[in-house]
Amino acid sequence: MKQTEILYNGRCPICSAEIVHYRKQAEATKAALRFTDLHDADLSEWQLSAEQATRRLHARHNGQIISGFPAFLILWQHLPRMRWLARLLSLPVLRQIAEIGYNHLAAPALYALHKRREAKAA
């Protein structure tokens, strides 16, 4: 399996904590994953603006850029302890519910928190 790269927002404490958890699993199992903070990345290689990159989790897998909930599925498929979750949430109805939850609740909430933190820091 080729290495899959995960692009995440390292300035988001929630995102960073989650990535630390995934990175530990990846290292322990020698999973073919690489984690890149979007603030250290050349986003033109991802074909993303900073705004787009900040709004969702992204993965580069087999030369394809995958964003949002499908990026989580790719990530989880690489981690032995998370594969069950990837299989479960890949089921049609559950996937639709998870995508709605991520796209309309989790991602917008995390982005709004990020914007507030950035405004306070400025």
Can you give the pLDDT at residue 1? 53
Q: What is the pLDDT of residues 2-46, one digit of tens each?
A: 789 999 999 999 999 999 999 999 999 999 999 999 999 999 999
DSSP 40: G
CB 42 within 8 A of CB 24: no
Residue 10 per-residue DSSP state: T
DSSP 102: I
Contact 71, 40 (CB under 8 A): no
Beta bridge pairs of residue 61: 64
Task: Provide the pLDDT for residue 31.
Answer: 96
Provide the domain limits for residue 13.
4-121
Q: Residues 16, 43, 95, 90: is their CA dihedral positive or negative?
A: negative
Q: Could you give the CA distance from residue 86 to residue 45 in angstroms, rounded to a whole number?
A: 27
Query: Which tokens go with 44?
Result: 């033109």
Residue 62, phi-psi category: left (phi > 0), alpha (psi -120 to 50), beta (remainder): left
- Domains held by the chain: number: 1
pLDDT tens digit sequence for 31-85: 999 999 999 999 999 999 999 999 999 999 999 999 999 999 999 999 999 999 9
